[in-house]
Each structure stands twice: as C-alpha cells, then as structure tokens.
Structure 1
Amino acid sequence: MDNSVRPFGPAGLLLLAALTASMLFLPLVLPPLPPPPLLLLFIPVGLMAALVFLALSPADAMGNVAVHTL
C-alpha cells in the first residue's frame, strides 16, 4: 500500500496544465477588450472597504463571555 500523500491525480495535473496554458496563450490570440464601465471598477474597492470596516469594528462579545473558575 502506498502511503505517500498525493494532492493531485493525473487528471487534476492535466487540468491545471491546460488552465495555465490557456491563461498564457489566449491573451495573445484574442483581440483586446474594451475597458469595463466605471461603476464596475468600484466593486473591489467597496468590498475592500467593507472588509476593513468589519476588521476594525469592535466585536460585541457580551454573548460569548465564558467564565472559568478553578
């Protein structure tokens, strides 16, 4: 019995190789695309602002308090 850890089988490696090749060669073959609308560009900025707000806002820990006694 083989006890080695194998994260990807042959099919997974073939899929990753095909995805890598398509990311390398398709931009060279396809025509350039027009830029996206300006409103669409604000989605990542809004997501990052929401994540920063959630990371810096204080947590309401009153319901999660555990009392340890010896």
Structure 2
Amino acid sequence: MSMTDRIDRLGALELRCLSLAARGRTRLEMMRETDIPVERIDRALEEAMRKLNANNLAEAVIRAARLELIS
C-alpha cells in the first residue's frame, strides 16, 4: 500500500484531530472541544500517525499540512 492510499483513507476524525493538534490543542482540549472521549482521540491520532508513516504527532501534523490535508 502506498503513502497516497493510506492518506486517502484518513478519516474525518483523524483529520479533525490533526487539525486541532496543528493549532496547539492538547488531547484534553480536543476532548472538550469535540465532546469525544480522549481514548478515541488518542486512537484517531495514533491511526493518523500510522497512515502518514510518522514517528510522532509533530511529524504527522507536518506531513498532513504539506500534503494540504489540513490547514
């Protein structure tokens, strides 16, 4: 599976969480803003990092921004 295939499969919650992380929100702030349990946010971010082949959240945010998946 290529990077493009994985990127195409990023879900709405994964993109939303990456976008919030890009704005400096903590996981707790994401939970308060979205009313989604922090465990679900953690899973979404972990899955986004896996799909973007990123070693950490900062790298995932940078890759998503460079690919214009988030703004």
TM over 0.5: no
| Larger radius of gyration between Structure 1 and Structure 2 | 1
Q: TM-score range by the shorter chain?
A: under 0.3
Q: TM-score, normalised by structure 1?
A: 0.27
Determine which structure has the larger helix proportion and give its number.
2
The structure, 1 or 2, with the larger RCO (C-alpha pairs under 8 Å, 6+ apart) is: 2
